[in-house]
Every structure is written in structure tokens, then in C-alpha cells.
């Protein structure tokens, strides 16, 4: 499984033809196929290409929705 740094992840921001990846609790998900992440943005405030672990508390749903999407790697905090 590919290991992503935050900088690697930031390239997958869903904009300008880039794929949309989001990290959640150490895993990286490919959400490119989701209507809800088109253009790399989710409900105005949440951006693809970043670690959204701390943002789920604001969501009107739990993390189980991420299971609809393939895991493409893991996230390391080591630069």
C-alpha cells in the first residue's frame, strides 16, 4: 500500500483534473467518483487533498460513508 505524506496528499485535491483523495484516521481514500466531492470540495468547507480526521465532528453523518470508497494508501506524519 502506498504511503502518503501530507504533501503527497495535497496534490490529490480534485481540482484541475487531479484525483480527489482524503485521509481519515491514517487511511487515504479515493473519493474522485463521488458527486459530493466534485471539484475537490465537500459541503463548501472540506477539501480533498487533506486529512479530514478532525473535521468529521462537524458532519451530519459518521465515517461509515467512507467505506463506499477504495483505500489507496496510508498517511504518515513523517515528512
Partner 1 sequence: MAKVAREMVERTGINVDELVELLISNASAELTTFYYYTILRVNLIGLEGEGIKEIAETARIEDRNHFEALVPRIYELGGKIPGNMNAFHDISACPPASLPENATDVKAILKVLVEAERCAVRGYTHICNLTAGKDHRTYDLALAILNEEVEHESWFSEFLGEGPSGHFMRRGETSPFVSKFLR
43 lines the binding site for ligand HEM (CB under 6 A): yes
- From the list partner 1, ligand HEM, none, partner contacted by residue 8 (C-beta under 5 to 8 A by kind): none
35 lines the binding site for partner 1 (CB under 8 A): yes
Q: Which residue lies nearer to ligand HEM by CB, 66 or 72?
A: 66
Stated as kind and residue range, the H or E segment containing 7 is: helix 6-10
For strand 27-30 and strand 41-42, is the pairing parallel, antiparallel, or unpaired?
unpaired
43 lines the binding site for partner 1 (CB under 8 A): yes
Binds ligand HEM by CB under 6 A, chosen from 19, 38, 55, 72: 55
The grid coordinates of residue 48 equal: 480533498
68 C-beta neighbours (distance < 10 Å), count:
10
In the complex, the smallest distance separating the C-beta of residue 5 from ligand HEM, rounded to whole angstroms, is: 19
Binds ligand HEM by CB under 6 A, chosen from 3, 5, 11, 36: 36
| Sequence-ordered strand ranges (E) for the chain | 2-4, 21-24, 27-30, 41-42, 46-47, 50-51, 71-75
Amino acid at each position: 500500500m502506498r504511503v502518503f505524506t501530507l504533501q503527497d496528499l495535497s496534490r490529490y485535491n480534485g481540482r484541475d483534473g487531479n484525483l480527489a483523495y482524503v485521509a481519515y484516521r491514517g487511511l487515504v481514500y479515493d473519493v474522485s467518483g463521488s458527486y459530493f466531492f466534485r471539484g475537490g470540495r465537500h459541503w463548501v468547507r472540506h477539501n480533498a487533498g487533506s486529512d479530514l480526521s478532525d473535521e468529521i465532528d462537524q458532519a451530519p453523518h459518521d465515517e461509515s460513508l467512507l467505506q463506499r470508497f477504495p483505500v489507496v494508501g496510508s498517511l504518515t506524519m513523517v515528512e
